[in-house]
Amino acid sequence: METLVNLDRETRELLSLPTRQAEALFQSYVMDHQLVLISNTPNPRQKEALYELVPDCTELVQSSVTEDVLQVLDLHLGTGLSSVMISCLSADQFEEIMDIVLWRDGKLDEEALDVWLFELINIEPEELSDFLYQIDVTVLAEMLRGRIEIAGQFRAMQIEAGLMDPTSELITYAEDRTRDICVAVWEADEELFIRLLHEIFDLNEADPLNEQQRMIQLQSEREVRVEERDQSVGIQVTEEQLREKVDLGQLDLQDDDSSAE
């Protein structure tokens, strides 16, 4: 108890310092102690403030537990401001977070999916390129599946031949957001965009699954990943408990003026 009290006091005193002094002090700590301070504070805005005390928080974010990162991300989801931290995530963290936030009651949550696509298109182009190289393209493909259609009988040949780009008249998007993320991928790496189309339209599969079969497969694969993560680290927090701490159900795409201040 004494340790927790001391950590609380240390965090309050640290964040009360002038910015440059706080940065210098926090950066003088070993990373393990930085992570302890972040995890110990229950206030997401204080967690965010601690991350901001380092010039590049990528390593700190990637060393953090998912619960801490999600609490900070949740502060600005739907405003485009979470894109900065999202670009810092490791491939494993991104996959784990998508497993948590995109599923509800065994089904893909379309509203949550829309919010996360919105955040992805707000990542700076150069950072998005680096981020896309890190993550598994199949994760992004599942986020976009069903939101893109290509007209004509020879779409496989056109994709294989590299004749497709996001502005093609043959491509129909469910909404502008999907088109924007495809354009962002294309601008980051044309070859990656072609790989993405391969995954979306199952061109690598000899016998593609129908929609119902794919959803069953996705849910099954997700359950396996969640169980493996729990076994590898010990169950520190269940998905339901995480949802209680990170209010994933109260998301919209309206600008939050108070968050931007």
pLDDT in tens, 199-244: 888 876 656 666 666 667 767 777 777 777 677 766 556 655 656 6
pLDDT of residue 74: 94
Q: CB-based contacts of 55: which residues, under 8 Å, 6+ apart?
A: none
Report for 150-164, 174-188, 192-206, 224-238: range of highest mean pLDDT: 174-188
pLDDT of residue 52: 97
pLDDT tens string 24-83: 999 999 999 999 999 999 999 999 999 999 999 999 999 999 999 999 999 999 999 999
Domain boundaries, the chain: 1-55
Report for 85-89, 137-141, 181-185, 249-253: range of highest mean pLDDT: 85-89
- Residue 184, pLDDT > 90, answer no
Region 182-188 average pLDDT: 87
- Residue in this structure with the two tokens 């999202």, named with its chain if needed: 86
pLDDT of residue 100: 87
Specify whether the CB–CB gap between 47 and 71 falls below 8 A. Answer: yes
Region 162-168 average pLDDT: 86
HSE-CB of 226 using CA atoms within 13 angstroms? 16
- Residue 173, pLDDT > 70, answer yes
Q: Identify the bridge partners of residue 108 per DSSP, sorted by sequence position.
A: 103
pLDDT of residue 1: 40
pLDDT of residue 248: 54
- Residue 256, pLDDT > 80, answer no
Q: Please give the C-alpha separations between residue 42 and each of 36, 38, 48, 72, 200, in angstroms, as whole numbers.
A: 12, 9, 11, 11, 39
Region 238-254 average pLDDT: 56
Buried b / exposed e along 193-232 (16+ C-beta atoms within 10 A): bbbbbbbbbeeeeeeeeeeeeeeeebeeebeeebeeeeee
pLDDT of residue 62: 96
| % of the chain surpassing 90 pLDDT | 38
- Residue 138, pLDDT > 90, answer no
pLDDT of residue 2: 41
- Residue 190, pLDDT > 60, answer yes
| % of the chain surpassing 70 pLDDT | 81
Decide which of 14 and 125 is more confident: 14
Q: Please give the C-alpha separations between residue 222 and each of 10, 86, 167, 228, in angstroms, as whole numbers.
A: 39, 20, 33, 10
DSSP one-letter string for 66-104? HHHHHHHHHHHTTTTTTHHHHTT--HHHHHHHHHHHTEE
pLDDT of residue 211: 64
What is the chain's mean pLDDT, rounded? 83
- Residue 177, pLDDT > 90, answer no
pLDDT of residue 127: 85
